[in-house]
Each structure stands twice: as C-alpha cells, then as structure tokens.
Structure 1
Amino acid sequence: MIKKISLPVIAAAAVLGLTGVAGAAGTTGVASAPRPAASSPADNLNPGPYHRALNPLVGTWKAVKTNYLLGTGGKPVVSRDITVKVNWISKTGGRFLQEKTDGTLAGKRYYRLGILGFSTIDRRYEWTTFDSVTPTAMTYRGAPVTAVTSVLSIPGEFTDPGVLGPDYLGKTIPMRTVVTLSGKPTFDLYFTPPGQPERLVDRVVYTRRLK
C-alpha cells in the first residue's frame, strides 16, 4: 500500500502529464502485429486521417479536473476553474496540436503545455507535457495503430521525483494517458507504482466549450 504523503509533495503528481476510460477501452485500435508500411514516402510526411481524428479537441474549453491523489477521506479534489485551449500549430503544417491549460489545483495556480501528434512512420500517437510543478517532461509513446479510433491509449514512464512518497524516489513509474475524443473530450491519467495495480490518478473532462 502506498504511504500517505503531504499535500505539497503529492500536488506534483497531480500535474504529471495531466490533463487526464479506463482499462480495456484504452486498447481500441492498437495492433499486436508490426505496423503496416506507408503506401508512399508522401504518406510518411503529410498529415492524414489519424491527425484529423484529433479535431474534436480543437477549441477553447471550460474543464473539470478531478484529482484522486490530493483528496482526503476517499474524496478527490475537484477543480472547476480550468480553461483549456487547443489548436493546431500552423507553423508545423498542422502536424501537431498544442494544448495550454490554466487554472488552479488544490488552491494553487496551475499551468500546463502539451503537444499531441501522430507519427506517420511509427503509426503511433505521441504526447508530451510540461507543467508548472513537475521537474521533467512527461513523455508518452503509443503502440502502432491499424485504424482510426475515438479512444487513444498512450503509455509512458517517468522517474519519480518523490511524488509517490520516499519509497518510490528515483524509481521508474509506468504511466498511461487515455484520451476519449467522442462526446465530452476526456483525459485520464494512470500510474502503476512498482508492486501496485494501475490506478487512475487524474481525470479532466471538457465540460463546456467557450464562445
């Protein structure tokens, strides 16, 4: 069982790769066989249907963030003042999405920059975030996909700077972001501490699109 840690320390975990449906749903469209080859060199360079599948994320959103690490008594911390702005980076030729998140978390200011894209040569989604608390980039690389899907499961790992307690300091922690594109866009973040089952640590739901 993970040891209880202080609020200031565990707050860092809440912003690791955040934003934030679980389990088997995250494997939709993931291939177990080697990726298929692109039909031409141009397919390896130009945005395609896997990029266009991300269009539901584009816009300015009011979001609700639920953090399961910060809560006490079994109740999570919920932030309702989160604003998320997502746009294609035009100078990359529309190859990468930029996400900027602003708001508060447990009473403190919170900011995160995320870059989401699809590697046509690797046939995988790639997701990297930088935030106002975590001392490292959080990097995720998905498995090769064989079909466009509305649920992206993108795994990664990070070296724990102490967010899960002193017993995990310096250890490699597997993580996974699951992005649900249909309905209300949702980002779920999971950690799998050594010797522990995978657990949901943060969820962000785009609840209302701002005009």
Structure 2
Amino acid sequence: MLRKISLTAASAVVVLATVGAPVASAGAVTDRPAAVAQRAQAAAPADNLAPGPYHRTLDPLVGTWKAVKYNYILGTGGKPIVSRDMTVRVRWISKTGGRFLEEKTEGTLGDRAYYRLGVLGFSPIDRRYEWTTFDSVTPTAMTYRGAPVSDEASVLSIPGEFTDPGVLGPDYLGETIPMRTVITIRSKNRHTFDLYFTPPGQPERLVDRVVYTRKL
C-alpha cells in the first residue's frame, strides 16, 4: 500500500547546528567571520549536509522514461489533450553532491513542441521536498515547497502557488493560484505526477497528469 506524506501543514521544523566561539587569549587575533563560518559548517551534523534517506526515496525516479501527458486545461468538454510521444530523462546532479534531481522532458503538447526542465530535491534543514519547473508553455517558474516531513513515503504532496498568465482564462489573469503536485512512486518502473489548481472561489481540480513508464 502506498503511504502518503501531507506537506500542506503550516508548521515548520528548523534544525540549527550551534557552535561555541573560542575564547580569545590575551593578544590573540580575533577570528575572521570566514573562519568562524568554516568551523560552523565542519561542526554541523552530517545529515544536514549530505544526502540522506529522504533523497533515497527519490532514487526510483532516475532513468529514461516514456511519458504520457493528460492536460485538461488545453482539452475541451472535460476531456484532456493526450500526448504520447514524450521522453523524460532524470538524473542526480553530481556537481550538487547528488542533492538534486534534474528532469528534462521533450515531446509535443497539442500541435506544438514541448519542453520542461525540473529540479527536485529535499532540504534536510527544512525537512521538506522542493520542486521547481520551467517549461515552454508557462512564462514563469512553477515553484513548490512542502511542509516538514517525519517519515518516508511513496506519495509526496507538494504545494505552491503561481501568478496566472491567463492559462485558466482571462478572468484569472494576474490572480494568485494555489497549486499542488502529487508524486506517486508506484514502483521502480512506473510513477505519476499529478498537478492540481485551486482557482479563487472554486474547488481544487486536476489540470495535468503525467504517467511515466521506464525505458531505461
């Protein structure tokens, strides 16, 4: 059974490493701020700096995927536009110390070429998942920040908000729209990304679903 983490709570847990400053002897030169910062970083708990079990939860997302995208915004009559030719490549970014996943999606959406770059990671300090995307449809970054988590799970619900450039229609142009991405890791060979919007005065609704099936 899939276990779900709800990341919509407003509470936050911040873990701070405290380091006592050395006592200067008579005539000693006062420590420079850079030296103090270096000692603080060296003394910080290792799990605040290195990837840990919450990063390992994301390991099944790594690989090359065939993606089928169901987009309800561009569809009509409640039926989505379906794109079946998308390829997604996901890797840990080694130059970040393996802290962040990079996702690159290419294909078509409707009659147009589609591209998306996404970065997904876990902040050990804030104990939350963070997800940001840039695509060829929306002229703004889509940023999601979760609430603190206390255990590992295969369903991640990550909220955010964006300023609508008109994708929901002229009535919502310039409005702040709450949104939520739900990542469901079903197995090492299959997972889904669901995107929900909550327009002002309306219930939350599914606007985009991507089903990933492993190629490599």
TM-score tier (shorter): 0.7 to 0.9
Which of 204, 207, 210 does residue 201 from structure 1 map onto? 207
Is 1:129 the counterpart of 2:117 in the alignment? no
Aligned pairs, how many? 186
> Larger relative contact order (C-alpha < 8 A, sep ≥ 6)?
1
CA distance in 2 between counterparts of 1:72 and 1:31 reads 34
Encode CA deviations 1:22-47: one digit per residue, 9 max, x unaligned.
xxx86447777653747952211110
Query: Which of 61, 70, 75 matches 1:71?
Result: 75
1:132-158 CA distance string (max 9 Å, x none): 121111100001000011011100000
Structure 1: 5+ residue runs without aligned partners?
1-24
Gaps of 5+ in 2: 18-43
1:31, 1:171 → 2: CA distance? Answer: 23
Aligned-pair Cα RMSD in Å: 1.9
* Whole-angstrom distance in 2 between the partners of 1:135 and 1:36: 32
Q: Give the Cα separation in 2 of the matches to 1:29 and 1:73.
A: 32
Partner Cα separation in structure 1 for residue 12 and residue 169 of structure 2:
38
Runs of 4+ more than 3 Å apart: 25-34, 36-40
Q: Percent identity?
A: 76
Q: Show the counterpart of 1:100.
A: 104
- The aligned counterpart of 1:35 is 13
The corresponding residue for 1:178 is 182
Please give the alpha-carbon distance, in whole angstroms, between the structure 2 residues aligned to 1:198 and 1:167: 17
The normalised TM-score by structure 2 is: 0.80
- Bigger radius of gyration: 2
Q: Tell me how far apart the structure 2 counterparts of residues 161 and 31 of structure 1 sit (CA, whole Å).
A: 27
Could you tell me whether the CA contact under 8 Å between 1:31 and 1:145 is conserved in 2?
no
Query: Residues 31, 72 of structure 1: CA spacing in aligned structure 2 closer, same or farther, 3 A cutoff?
Result: closer
> Which of 47, 55, 60 lines up with 1:56 in the alignment?
60
1:210 aligned residue: 215
Could you tell me which of 163, 167, 171 is aligned with 1:167? 171
Q: Which amino acid aligns with 2:138?
A: T
Residue pair 1:85, 1:100 contacting (<8 A) in 2 also = yes
TM-score, normalised via structure 1 length? 0.82
The match for 2:34 is none
Distance 2:4 2:136 in 1: 27
Are the equivalent residues in 1 in contact too, given 2:178–2:197 (CA < 8 A)? yes
> In 2, Cα distance between the equivalents of 1:28 and 1:155?
9
Change (3 A) 1:92 1:155: same
